[in-house]
Amino acid sequence: MEPSPHTATSNPPVAATAANLSERDLVRRSASSVPPPARQLEPVAKLIDVSKCIGCKACQSACIEWNDTNPAIETNVGVYENPHDLTPDMFTLMRFTEWDNPQTGNLEWLIRKDGCMHCEDPGCLKACPAPGAIVQYSNGIVDFVHENCIGCGYCIKGCPFNIPRISKVDHTAYKCTLCSDRVSVGQGPACAKACPTHAISFGTKEDMKTLANSRIEDLKSRGYENAGLYDPPGVGGTHVMYVLHHNDQPEIYSNLPRDPRISPVVNAWKGMAKYLGFAAMGLAAAAGVLHSAFVSPNRVSSEDEEKAEDLVKEKT
C-alpha cells in the first residue's frame, strides 16, 4: 500500500509534496466505470469524538476559511446552530441537542459535527447521473468534481445522511471533500487541524479505529456503558466516524440515523426502475416493430372513400 497521509494530530510535512490523489486512484466514478486502480491507497478516516467536542465551531470556521466559502450571516432563531443548516457554503455544522438522560436524570448537551460521512458505499455517487461528477478514491474519500456536475440534486436524494447542497450561484453540488486537496499532500483536513480539543482526528482508518477503542474504553470507565464507534455497516462503513457516548441511541445526536443505508426508494429508482423502464420502452417499441412486420398498414380503401362520398351526397 502507498504511504498513508499523516494524522492531523502529529506535525504534518512542511516541505512541498506531490499530490497523491489522481484519476488513477479512483475506485468509483459516477455514471461511468473506471479501470481497476493502479494501486490501493491505505484507507483514511476522520474520527469525530463527540465526547471531547465542545461545540466551539472552530471546524466550521476552518472549513469556511480553507474552502473560501461565503455563508450568509443569518439571524438567531433560538438555537446555537449557525448557519441553521448545511448550505452550499457550509460543508460542516455543529448540531446541538439538549438531552435529559433518563437513567441519570442529568442533562447532557450533545454536540455533533455534521457533514459528509464519506460512505464506503456512497449513495450520492450511486444516484449521480453525470459521468465523473462524483468520484471515490481508493483511500475512501468521496469527492465532487464540479466541472462535471450538472446540479440536478440527485446526490441529495441518494445520500442517507442528507448532506449535499446545491449552490444557487454555480448550480453545482457541494459537501465536505474530507479536504482531499490537503490530504493528497499529506495534510489532515482543515477542521481536524483547527480542532482545539482533538475531538477531530485524522489518519488511517485502522489507526482511527484503534484510537476510537481507547476513547471508548475511557468513556466506559466514566460510566458510559454504551459508548461505541459509529461506523455504520449499512453503507459499507464510513470514512468519517463518530465516537458516541450513547452508541445505542445515535438518533439522540440530532437524528443521526441508527442504521443508515441507501434509501430503498433510491435503490428502486436507480435499479429496478431503470431495467423496468428500458424494458417497458423497449417492449413498446418492439411491439410496434413486430406489429408492422406482421400486420400490414391500415389503409383506407377506395371503397371507403366512395362510401363517404355517397354519405355526403345523400345528406346534401
Partner 1 sequence: MADRDIAKEDAIHPGRPVVVSRYNLGARINHWITAASLILLALSGLAFFHPSLFFLTGLFGGGQDARAIHPWIGVVLFFSFAGLFIRFWRANLPEKSDKAWLAHANDMITGNEEKMPEVGRYNPIQKFNFWVMAILIIALIVTGFAIWDQYFFDWTTIPQKRIAVLIHSLAAVALICIWIVHVYAAIWARGTLSAMTRGSVTGGWAWKHHRRWLKELAERHRVKKPAAPAE
Partner 2 sequence: MTNSWTDIRNTDLVVIMGGNAAEAHPCGFKWVTEAKANRGAKLIVVDPRFTRSASVSDFYAPIRQGTDIAFLLGLINYCILNDKIQWQYVKAFTNVAYIVKEGFAYNDGLFTGYDESKRDYDRSTWEYEIGPDGFAVVDDTLQNPRCVWNLLKAHVATYTPEMVERICGTPKDKFLKVAEMVSECSSPTKTMTSMYALGWTQHSKGSQNIRAMAMLQLLLGNIGVRGGGMNALRGHSNIQGLTDIGLMSNLLPGYLNIPVEREADFTTYMSSRAFKPLRPNQTSYWQNYKKFFVSFQKAMWGDAATVQNDFAYQYLPKLDVPAYDVLRTFEMMHQGKVNGYFCQGFNPLLAFPNRQKITESLSKLKWLVTMDPLETETARFWENHGEYNNVNTASIQTEVIQLPTTCFAEEDGALVNSGRWLQWHWAGGTPPGEAKHDTWIMAQIHLRLRALYEKEGGPFPDPMLNLTWNYKDRNEPSAEELARELNGYAVETLYDPADATKVVLEKGKQVVNFSVLRDDGTTACGCWIFSGCFNEAGNNMARRDNSDPDDTGAYPNWTFSWPLNRRILYNRASADLQGNPWDPSRKLIAWDGTKWAGYDVPDIAPNAKPDTVGPFIMNQEGVSRLFARGLMRDGPFPVHYEPFEAPIANVIAPKIRGNPVARIFQSDVAQFATSDEFPYAATSYRLTEHFHYWTKHNRVNATLQPEFFVEISEQLAAEKGIAHGGWVRVWSKRGEVKAKAVVTKRIKPLMCDGKPVHVVGIPLHWGFTGAARKGWGPNSLTPFVGDANIETPEYKAFLVNIEPTTAPVAV
In the complex, which residues of this chain contact partner 1 (CB under 8 A)?
30-32, 129-131, 148-154, 156-157, 162, 166, 168, 171, 263, 265-266, 268-269, 273-274, 276-278, 280-281, 283-285, 288, 291-292, 295-309, 311-316
Report what 307 binds from partner 2, partner 1, none; CB cut-off 5-8 Å by kind. Answer: partner 1
Query: Which of residues 15, 73, 295, 312 is near partner 2 by CB under 8 A?
Result: 73
CA 128 to CA 116: how far, in whole Å?
A: 16
C-alpha cell at position 145: 468534481
Q: Which residues pair with 104 in a beta bridge?
A: none
CA 230 to CA 250: how far, in whole Å?
A: 8
Q: Do you know the residue count of the chain?
A: 316
C-alpha cell at position 101: 438522560
Site string for partner 2, 193-232 (x = CB under 8 A): ---xxxx---------------x--x--xx----------
How near is the Cβ of 80 to partner 2 at its closest, in Å? 8
List, in sequence order, every beta strand (DSSP E) within 72-145: 93-100, 107-114, 134-137, 142-144
Residue number with CB closer to partner 2 (55 or 164) = 55
Q: State which amino acid sits at residue 150.
A: I
How near is the Cβ of 47 to partner 1 at its closest, in Å? 26
CA 77 to CA 262: how far, in whole Å?
A: 32
Q: Applying CB under 8 A, does 295 fall inside the site for partner 2?
A: no
Report what 83 binds from partner 1, partner 2, none; CB cut-off 5-8 Å by kind. Answer: partner 2
Stretch that binds partner 2, among 59-67, 236-244, 284-292, 304-312 (CB under 8 A): 59-67
Report what 162 binds from partner 1, partner 2, none; CB cut-off 5-8 Å by kind. Answer: partner 1
How near is the Cβ of 117 to partner 2 at its closest, in Å? 22
C-alpha cell at position 195: 480542532
CA 172 to CA 256: how far, in whole Å?
A: 25
Q: What residues contact residue 306 under an 8 Å CB cut-off, 6+ apart?
A: none
Q: Applying CB under 8 A, does 152 fall inside the site for partner 2?
A: no
Report what 19 binds from partner 1, partner 2, none; CB cut-off 5-8 Å by kind. Answer: none
Q: What residues contact residue 157 under an 8 Å CB cut-off, 6+ apart?
A: 127, 263, 266, 269
Contact by Cβ (8 Å): 93, 111? no
Report what 218 binds from partner 2, partner 1, none; CB cut-off 5-8 Å by kind. Answer: partner 2
Query: Which of residues 45, 64, 166, 240 is near partner 2 by CB under 8 A?
Result: 64
C-alpha cell at position 38: 493502479
Residue number with CB closer to partner 1 (162 or 213) = 162
Exposed/middle/buried for 122, CB within 10 Å: 0-12, 13-18, 19+?
Answer: buried
Kindly identify the residues of this chain, within the stretch 81-100, that bind partner 2 according to CB under 8 A: 82-83, 90, 98, 100
Strand pairing of 134-137 and 142-144? antiparallel
How near is the Cβ of 15 to partner 2 at its closest, in Å? 17
Find cell 430503498 and name the residue. 264
3-state class (DSSP) for residue 94 = strand
Q: Applying CB under 8 A, does 71 fall inside the site for partner 2?
A: yes
C-alpha cell at position 22: 489522481
Report what 301 binds from partner 1, partner 2, none; CB cut-off 5-8 Å by kind. Answer: partner 1
Residue numbers at the binding site for partner 2 (CB under 8 A): 51-58, 60-61, 64-65, 70-80, 82-83, 90, 98, 100, 106-111, 196-199, 215, 218, 221-222
